[in-house]
Every structure is written in structure tokens, then in C-alpha cells.
Chains A and B, each alone.
Chain A
Amino acid sequence: MTALSRDDLPPPGGGPGTTTRPVPPGGLAGSARTEPVDWVVALSTPGPEQQHALRLLHQLMVRAAAHQVWRLRHALPDDSPAAVEVVVQQAADEAMTALLGKLHSFEGRSRFTTWAFKFAILQASSDVRRLQWRRREVELRDLDLGTIAASDHDDAEHSAEAADLASALARAMSTALTPYQRRIAVALLVDEVPIDVLAERLGTNRGALYKTLHEARRRLRAELTERGYLSPTGGAR
């Protein structure tokens, strides 16, 4: 199926036979008239019903994208309503394209609307984070014990035990991780670079970075358990 852009959809004001009232996130106003009985069939079968379903789907995408962008708007370089609206519309369009490309994979294990929302939320999140970091450099640096210690050692709330664990963890990062694992862990969890932003900068993907992080965590936990800082069942001693 070819994904449609917003320009291909019926006008927001509503053409003949369309309904434009707001769509609540939990469903489509409970109206049998507006919500297709079978979204996949409606979206896949050329004709007036497909156009109607596409318009309703776009409303869902806009609603979910708006929900997420407004949640994260403090991260936007420009969080004015007009700028937010641009991000919402772009995310909704891209999410709709992504969803239509995966329409065949909908198995009906959740409501279609819930399934659809997650595409818009993912796209909106990614777009906001990308805008947030657009002008920021991402440094893939190694662990710098001196710098981190100087900025944190006066923390009155930090107990000696916690500091001891942190020191042991830093040593474990130096000995148990590869330089690449360490740099990814530092970028994601110390410098808090969003995972999709880091993936984009490194020319990789979110899944690959998460896998690296998962393996790094597994090694660190094993090392600290062996040294007696973590109990074999999981928690800090």
C-alpha cells in the first residue's frame, strides 16, 4: 500500500460525508458511523471508505502526537503553540506513513486505536528529542573519573556506602567493559544523551545501542557481584 501524505487526505473542514468532530484517545467517539468495523480492511481497500478511514486515522495520529509533544514541549527550542503545532503535524504525518507500512502486521491483540497511538507517540518523542539536541554536540567520551568526582564529591546526601559502590562501579567500567561499551554507557547514562539521538549521530539504531548497553550492564553486575558489592540476587549489599 502506498502511504498518503496529509495533502492526499480530505480537507480538515470535512468534505461530503465526513465528520470532523474531535476524536477522543480511547476511541472514535463511540460512533459506529465514524469508526470502521475493520480498520485494516477499510484502510487497505481502495474507495470512499478508505479515504474516510485514512482521514480518521490521521486524526488519531494528530491526537496522539499532540499528546506527546505537549508533554515534552519544555524540551523544544521553541515551545510556542505555533511551533508545537508544526512538530505535531509533522510527527503525525510521519507516524501515519510508518503505520501504513506496517498495517499488515496488526494482529488485533489490542484495539486498533491503541496500536495506532504508539506509532505517533514514538515519532513525536523522536522528533522532539532530535530538535532538543539539534544544536548540541554529542561527545562519545570515555569515563573521566577526575571530572565526575570533582563535580559530585560535595553532595552531602551521598552516603559513604553509595560513594564506595560508585567507585567500585567506575573501576568495573574500566576493567570489565570494552572501550566502546564504556563510551556508549557514559553517553547514555552519565551524559544522558537520548538513545535515538545517539543512534542517529553514530549512524546506528536504537536497538543496537540498547543491546550494547544491556551487555555492558550484564558485565558490570557480574563484576560487582563477584567483588561482593551486589548480592547474587540483585541488590546492593
Chain B
Amino acid sequence: MTTPRPRSPLPPRAVDALLVDTTPWLSCDECFERMDVHVEAVLADPHHHDAAMEHHLLGCAACADEARSLLDLLRSGTA
């Protein structure tokens, strides 16, 4: 007989998403305003670092998908 494992009350993906550290604060509007500059900077330098953008993109699935799409679009045009 095995010992019952503790029950997990939240799906693992939700746990990860709930515990994302989204500081420093950046709003979705500010993310949108900065997205073009950020994506061009990442394209020019893959090590480009912008903590506020990076943390916002980790915590906002919609903004993250849009940034990824913009990056893909620019890459497809410069490949």
C-alpha cells in the first residue's frame, strides 16, 4: 500500500502563473508603448535586458504572445 500523496488544489500551470513576480510594475498600455522598441532591441542584441518588460511579458500571456508575434514577423522579414 502506498502513502497517498498530498492533493494538489491548483493545476501546476496555474501555480506557476500565480507566483510570477511581476515587479517592477509595468502596465499593459506601457508594455504596448514600448513593445516596438523592445523587440527591435532584442533582435539587435539577444542579450538585451529590460527587467520591467521581461517581467510583464512573463506575467501577461496576451502581451507576451503579441511581442512574440512581432518578433517573429520582423525575423521573417529580415531572414
Residue ranges of A at the interface with B (Cβ–Cβ < 8 Å): 24-27, 63-64, 67-68, 71, 109-111, 114-115, 117-118, 121-122, 125, 129, 145, 148-149, 152-153, 155, 158, 160, 162-167, 169-170, 173, 185, 189-190, 192, 194-196, 206-207, 210-211, 213-214, 216-218, 220-221, 224, 230, 234, 236
Contacts and interface: CB of A to CB of B under 8 A. Distances in A.
Given A26-B74, A118-B66, A207-B27, A109 B37 contact: yes
A163 to B, nearest CB: 4
A202 to B, nearest CB: 15
A68 B17 CA distance: 24
A211 B10 contact: no
A230 B10 CA distance: 17
Given A121-B66, A148-B9, A211-B27, A169 B18 contact: yes
B12 A114 contact: no
A229 to B, nearest CB: 9
B20 interface: yes
Residue among B15, B23, B32 with max Cβ neighbours from chain A (10 Å) = B15
Contacts of A68: 66, 69, 73
The 10 closest A-B pairs by CB, nearest first: A26-B77, A25-B77, A163-B8, A110-B36, A170-B9, A163-B6, A189-B17, A166-B8, A149-B7, A153-B7
B51 interface: no
